[in-house]
Structure 1
């Protein structure tokens, strides 16, 4: 593609990317799905670290959510807990500046240590019977501080380790790092709650953070600052925001992220215990298996994207995959049949991979390396609307019911994606490192 063609589409090609078709990985067949792991030993360490970091997070999400709903029997209090736990996402832009300014590996190490210490404290207090609602609320907030602000550093480090030609594959593998523990973590957590109680489940979840921390040690020396820190934090923040929001593609992807985190992600993050207990009549172990089905679907979707390699029309797959995700949620909201609900949630997991993997990939491919941390920080802020949305959806669900609330939210997301397809056709054609053809 010529420079003139780029000017027509009003976006710049980031440094390190080309408008020509990149050289394809030599791997073929099943090995193509793991090309990033084969090509970058340091990415392998990061990938394993992410598996265990997110594994601890998934177990704790189930344990603490079940504990709150079991002790309070209140959808609103469960929504408040989720909102507090996710509030640190609002610090995303600041975290993005830190990711561009400081050593990313050190940031991830500090986040892992903070999460480990907090879960140890929660497990201790729960074992002693000294963990009332406000203690769990505070623990959720601190875990959120360890988890959410580290995400820009985690994702931008991937781009540094693998390069643009393997970025879709690496992000899909990173999504697998979240899905793999989601497959086994909730089932283990639910079984442990049923057999041993919440405190033992929390103690076991601390081991995941220990392994994650050990896997970060070989990465020392990677993750150096992407931007020269001549400016202060505020100047870097405002300058980065202006640069990113002037990019039509990046701004559209961020807008879709906002909408999805208002309409659907709060449902999954907050109200799955309600679906399990009140709609489907499941216990804690049943909730664990329900979430495991979603994790299996997410794993399958991530494998599919990883195997596709540096495929064309990433933007179109992102848009229509997100619309499919909303459509499946609308069907799940209407289901009271346990086997059907399990199958639908697995399908939701597959579709959610196309949203989750490609939103990050598209942001990294449409922004300059020097502002990628800030782009991902704004993405984290967009995700950070979830706590406020969870409160609103929780209040609506108290009146209308969780099924009706989810059904309407899902159809609204589908409608938004259809509008995007009509109004921003450039996004549908966007292929990243490949040429966008008219």
Structure 2
């Protein structure tokens, strides 16, 4: 009851959600351990190549760009819990294989490339299902709070995971850190098996039919507010969320420090991320689109400032601010999208969200890695922050123009209809003694009114959707 009265932790009053988030927390710690260890491993195997780190990141997130929409469709069609058990097992085996290669000393750069891609295949189908499954575990009444607490779990793990990775890498090597992630998946699999399935707020499965994937794209395309939210997520995911790569480059190539200093930065950034997640969980209402855009723009400014930090200490001071702003931005976008879509298309819409958020990384990571090779390790931060700001501006301007064009094309006012008498010659009927119209003939004025009402209703219904989205943009 004490938990239920706390706005920050309200969703934890649901037993299924407590079980789910506990297992996810342990698994997320392992995920962050591997993210840090994998980038450090490929950086050392490649002789400090920034491009190699960028390629690894790109390969890991490439499947998300290509396959997440299909993953969202599967999440709408099938049991999300069973789908998650399959994807989690896939990623556990992938981590186990790469960890064994590294521990035995036979790992090469191409091995990391290969297993980063294999791991990404599982993540492409896992992420949409996990996002959509939160509503089933927590229920509609606690959805907004559950989204915030789910982010808190992920970012609390970010606070702990990199530090653990740094300690393991310094004492035993990157391979053992990656093996730690393989073991951590057991916690999430056990939690999924332990859920009380009778208490899940299941969404009616989508019946298989043609055009369902296209339907998800069409749904988003006709919602200007969703297009802006997704565009902002693309900008942040492509140019702003390459922290493992940028931190590794700054620590090794700019500040000339080791694995412990690298792992410490991840934990320091996690402090800000955790604070942001807790603040998001306290929200009593869904954030506005204006808040999402404003926070994303501020993230670009902070990232640019971090690239200008004069030393390791100043860089470490900026990272919590970066973690806070990034988390508030992504949680706000996630809340806005999940709570404003039809439950029957939630899986597909969240798949598009994950596609633009994670799928932009294969574009941004190699580009920023190339900038680091040419201009030095600070270039991905300064250039990435500026590119993020420019992209957000372009998205907002283009979508607003598109919404305005649609509103112009659809005139919500009544159409002018020419009198039917001018087009159809109707015989006089005054000689009919009963005053009854001939069968099949309707008075001209009545036909005109019906045509006008039908045209007006259809046009107004179409215009209402555009007007609503356009009003959200303002």
- Using structure 1 for the length normalisation, give the TM-score: 0.85
1:55 CA drift (Å):
1.6
- Written as runs of structure 1 = structure 2, the 5 A alignment for 1:191-210 is 191-210=167-186
- The SS at the match of 2:207 is coil
Q: 1:49 deviation in Å?
A: 2.3
> Alpha-carbon deviation of 1:387?
0.9
Q: Deviations over 1:251-277 (max 9, x none)?
A: 111111122222222x32433210111
Q: Which position in structure 2 is the counterpart of 1:362?
A: 336
Residues 160-214 of structure 1: CA distance to partner in whole angstroms, max 9, x if unpaired?
3334443221111111111111111111111111111122222322221111111
Tell me the number of residue pairs that the alignment of Structure 1 and Structure 2 aligns: 400
Q: Show the 5 A alignment for 1:51-70.
A: 51-70=25-44
Aligned to 2:207: 229
Distance 1:208 1:409, change over 3 A: same
Q: Which residue of the partner structure matches residue 381 of structure 2?
A: 406
The CA distance in 1 between the partners of 2:3 and 2:164, in whole Å, is 38
| Greater RCO (Cα-Cα under 8 Å, separation 6 or more) | 1
Match of 2:258 in 1: 283
Q: Is the 8 A contact 2:76 2:347 kept in 1?
A: yes
Q: Decide whether aligned partners of structure 1 residues 209 and 371 sit closer, same or farther in structure 2, where only a CA change above 3 A counts.
A: same
Displacement over 6 Å in runs of 4+: 419-423, 435-438
- Which residue of the partner structure matches residue 93 of structure 1? 69
Equivalent residues of 2:231, 2:395 under 8 A apart: no
The DSSP-based 3-state class of the residue aligned with 1:359 is: helix
Give 1:11-160 correspondences, 5 Å limit: 31-38=6-13, 40-72=14-46, 73-90=48-65, 91-160=67-136
Within the alignment, does 1:394 sit opposite 2:394 as a pair?
no
Give the match for residue 268 of structure 1: 243
1:308 corresponds to which residue?
283
Task: Point out the structure with max Rg over C-alpha.
Answer: 2
CA separation in 1, counterparts of 2:265 and 2:323?
Answer: 11
Q: Indicate how the Cα distance of structure 1 residues 362 and 65 shifts in structure 2: closer, same or farther if over 3 A, else same.
A: same
8 Å CA contact 2:232, 2:296 repeated in 1: no
* Inter-CA distance 437–245: structure 2 relative to 1 (3 Å threshold): closer
User: Shift of residue 281 of structure 1?
Assistant: 2.5
* Stretch moving more, 403-412 or 107-116: 403-412
1:205–1:148 Cα change, 3 Å: same
| Structure 1 contact 166–310 (Cα < 8 Å) conserved | no
- Quick one: structure 1 residues 399 and 295, their matched pair in 2 at CA, closer, same or farther if it must change by over 3 Å? same
Please state if 1:238 is matched with 2:197: no
Deviations 1:353-376 (A, max 9, x none): 111212211111221000000001
Equivalent-residue separation in structure 1 for 2:9 and 2:254 (angstroms): 39
Find the aligned partners of 2:261 and 2:285 in 1 and give their Cα distance.
38
2:73·2:212 contact (CA, 8 Å) conserved in 1?
yes
Query: Could you give the per-residue CA deviations for residues 36-92 of structure 1, whole angstroms, max 9, x where no partner exists?
Result: 111x21111221222122222111111111010012121111111111111121211
Deviation string, structure 1 residues 92-121 (Cα, Å, up to 9, x no partner)? 100000000000001111111111112222
Look up the SS of the partner of 1:33 in the other structure. Answer: coil
Q: Which consecutive unaligned segments of at least 5 residues does structure 1 have?
A: 1-24, 427-434
CA 1:123–1:412 in 2, change beyond 3 Å: closer, same or farther? closer
Quick one: distance in 1 between partners of 2:129 and 2:246? 29
Map of 1:17 onto structure 2: none
2:439 alignment counterpart: none
**Pair 1:359–1:389, CA change in 2 (3 A):** same
What is the RMSD computed on CA atoms of the aligned residues? Answer: 2.6
CA contact (8 A) 2:99 2:175 kept: yes
Cα 1:205–1:27 shift into 2, 3 Å = closer
Q: How far off its partner does 1:125 sit?
A: 2.0
